[in-house]
Structure 1
Amino acid sequence: MSEAGTYDALLLVSFGGPEGPDDVIPFLENVTRGRGIPRERLEKVGEHYHLFGGVSPINRQCRELKAAIEADFAAHGLDLPVYWGNRNWDPYLADTVRRMTADGVRRAAAFVTSAYSGYSCSDQYVEDIERARAEVPGAPEIDKLPVYCLRPGFADPFVDAARRALDELPEDGARRLVFTAHSVPLAQPGRPDYVAELERVAETVAERAAPGVPWSLVYQSRSGPPSQPWLEPDVVDHLDKLHGDGVTAVAVVPIGFVSDHMEVKYDLDVEAARRAGELGMAFARAATPHTDPRFAALPRELLLEHRAAGG
């Protein structure tokens, strides 16, 4: 039996993304299924992906994270296979659970590429896992590992990244740290916990990375209808406000993301950077944890702690 006790596998669970131009609309249809989003709107969003060749970076990043987790397991003598399944694109979660079942996996721990509480960040992944298990006769038990946004393995890489981003900015201007996360509807279950965790992470990173530098928490990547209230302010709108307040340089830190998802690559690296340029503001975007060894160690740490606690 492995050091992980009753667990005989780790399952990496992520959102998924298109890996070619022909995948873009089918992927967006998967994401928005049941929400009645018009085809024209999907095509408009699809233009973001086509700027990058129709390829989302998220699947490549999951492959890299999976390899980093496997390397961490090996370095610490943890003999467990690592599987990977997505919510919205190949490899689909149900297909991965089917493969785990065929391989004889009986009980697995699931690590999701979302660090926070709330419905879309946590509870929906539990639903996805249970839906996938229901499709597979004899599927293994799968326990989602706890939320990890406040763990050092997640926050520490952001501290270093925020410092590096600030170092890219002119020192003689009025600088600001701007923390961003994916917006969610105000009515979404778990939204208060999500916001509270984001505020704690932002405060922790700001205090450690740049004491005395003003900071703010804003949101990005809203996708709902205008009539539906979502978390605000939007990052681009906030840049306008900062410019009006005399801020001349911003370091944007995407604490809502574990790696450079499309929302980071387009909403920040394209849209926010472009608006900052139009305003004459210096702009730097901090890196996400991705395969930082401290982050890659989190699945092992959480798995062993969850096992020790009787999870």
Structure 2
Amino acid sequence: MTYDAFLLVSFGGPEGPDDVAPFLANVTRGRGVPPERLAEVAEHYRHFGGVSPINEQCRLLMAGLRDRIDLPIYWGNRNWRPYLVDALRDMRDAGIHRVLAFVTSPYGSYSSCRQYLDDIAAARAALGERAPEVDKLRHFHDHPLFIAAHVDAVKAALATLPDPANARLAFTAHSIPVSMADTAGPVRNGGRYVAQLRETARLVAAAAAPDLPYELVWQSRSGPPVIPWLEPDVNDHLAALSAEGVTGVVVSPIGFISDHIEVLWDLDHEAAETAEKLGLAYARAATPTDDPRFIDMLVELIEERRSPGGDRAALGEIPTWDRCAPGCCPAPPKRR
């Protein structure tokens, strides 16, 4: 396949205190998030100076790729500058026709995959018939290099605990509504988000600490309380571990490729504080973006797409594909 450019597509984040409110308005528009929850999340950002680390992590990701691929690199976000439509406009004006895009989520669901595809389609429609075509790289939840980075991060975190042989592992990901989880994946074949995360957790646990019990738990819920979301929450899980007599835990945020605010606040602050109150020794495993193997994986995924027909690097059993079928991971109904 012939491509003219590489596009990094990410969530976006504020770059200063004045950006926080409009950024969160972009993120939550039409989702019915309670005002008190919105105010709470805004304070999380302000705790870090109103700056999300995700933007600098995107810059570092692009810097790591520049010497590894022979394509010009562009960057567009869903929710904050630089916006997707601006990146596509720059590519159109540069005479670029076909783009290979990497979305910073390994998993399939509306919010982690389909919504990015919808935003790409909306940006292309806004630019008209000369807009570049965009092909998204496949999911990579079980790529050997992605798993290896998590495995070493879990091992390093375990080594910091006073009694690692008797610890537990807790793998976390962003909670989503149960209805969204049930419809994640192809039509009439949902559950892809949870299934992929379970597979990632299983692969990491088997290689990092095969003798330790582990669980997949959830974090960062943001929706109305009347709507069921995936549970248990990581803090509730820590309390349950303590009640069982567990004395140490490693939390591995396999749902995130980098240290989002949800990782820094919900895990490094709230969950760590919960563990301290419970008397649990606590360590949080690193996310993989800073690991050189993550860049190696990206290069492999790009070459795989440019030269189709070869074997796909994968450790699990859940299939991946290059293009999602129509109706895959449908959008949830909009709420006031």
TM bracket, shorter-chain basis: over 0.9
| Deviation >6 Å, runs of 4+ | none
Q: Secondary structure at the match of 1:131?
A: helix
The amino acid of 2:61's aligned partner reads L
Deviation at 1:300, TM superposition (A): 2.2
Match of 2:170 in 1: 178
Distance in 1, matches of 2:78 and 2:12, equals: 6
- 1:232 partner SS: coil
Partner of 1:232: 231
Amino acid at match of 2:10: S
Cα distance between partner residues in 2 of 1:123 and 1:81: 25
Aligned equivalent of 2:277: 278
Cα 1:162–1:173, aligned 2, differ >3 Å: closer, same or farther?
closer
Instruction: Report 1:1-311 matches (<5 A).
Output: 5-73=1-69, 79-137=70-128, 138-171=130-163, 174-188=166-180, 189-190=183-184, 192-309=191-308
CA distance 1:175–1:99, shift in 2 (3 Å)? same
1:187 Cα deviation after fit = 0.5
What SS does structure 1 have at the residue aligned with 2:259? coil
Q: What are the Cα deviations for residues 153-211 of structure 1, in whole angstroms up to 9, with x where unaligned?
A: 21110000000000000127731011000111111130611111111110110110012
- Structure 1 residue runs of 5 or longer lacking an equivalent are 74-78
Separation (CA, whole Å) in 2 of partners of 1:215 and 1:80: 41
Q: Give the letter aligned to residue 119 of structure 1.
A: Y
SS of 1:12's equivalent? strand
Task: Check conservation: 1:8, 1:108, Cα contact below 8 A.
Answer: yes
Using a 3 Å threshold, how does the CA distance of structure 1 residues 91 and 55 change in structure 2: closer, same or farther? same
Mapped partners of 1:26, 1:250: distance in 2: 37
Separation in structure 1 between the aligned mates of residue 265 and residue 255 of structure 2, nearest angstrom: 15
Given residue 91 of structure 2, which amino acid in structure 1 is its aligned partner? M
For 1:76, the equivalent position in structure 2 comes to none
Q: The residue matched to 1:297 in structure 2 has which SS?
A: helix
Once the two structures are superposed, residues 245-264 of structure 1 have per-residue CA deviations (whole angstroms, 9 ceiling, x without a partner) of 01111110000000001100
8 Å CA contact 2:166–2:212 kept in 1: the answer is no
Distance of 1:123 and 1:147 partners within structure 2: 12
Distance in structure 1 (CA, Å) of the matches to 2:35 and 2:209: 45
Structure 2 residue identity aligned to 1:198:
L
Distance 1:253 1:16 in 2: 22
**Matched letter for residue 140 of structure 2:** Y
Which amino acid counterpart does residue 153 of structure 1 have in structure 2? L
- Contact map agreement 1:173 1:248 (CA 8 A) in 2: no
Q: What are the Cα deviations for residues 84-103 of structure 1, in whole angstroms up to 9, with x where unaligned?
A: 11000000010010001111
Contact 2:76 2:87 in 1 (8 A): yes
Query: 1:174–1:246: 8 Å Cα contact kept in structure 2?
Result: no
